[in-house]
Amino acid sequence: MEFALPGHHAGPNVKIKPARRTKASSIKQSRAAQAIKQARFLALLPYYKSS
């Protein structure tokens, strides 16, 4: 199973970057947010950065 994590839309502190910083349209930003949320649910991305 191959997949690509949406790392461009998530910052180093694991927050979803705003569309004005990623230059994404509202549709692409919504899809990226959904992909990040699914990756978090599947434990591919953390919900928060542990220090």
- Give Cα separations from 27 to 3, 13, 23, 30, 38 (angstroms): 20, 23, 12, 5, 17
Rounded to whole angstroms, the Cα distance separating 5 from 20 reads 20
Residue 40, in any domain of the structure: yes
Residue 34, in any domain of the structure: yes
Residue 28, in any domain of the structure: yes
**Residues 6 and 35: beta-carbon distance below 8 Å:** yes
Rounded to whole angstroms, the Cα distance separating 38 from 4 reads 12
- The reported pLDDT for the residue numbered 24 is 86
- The reported pLDDT for the residue numbered 48 is 79
Residue 42, in any domain of the structure: yes
Enclosing domain of residue 27: 21-46
Residue 30, in any domain of the structure: yes
- The reported pLDDT for the residue numbered 1 is 45
Residue 29, in any domain of the structure: yes
The total number of structural domains in the chain stands at 1
What does pLDDT average to in each consecutive run of 10 residues of the chain (51 residues)? 59 79 88 87 81 65
Amino acid found at 40: R
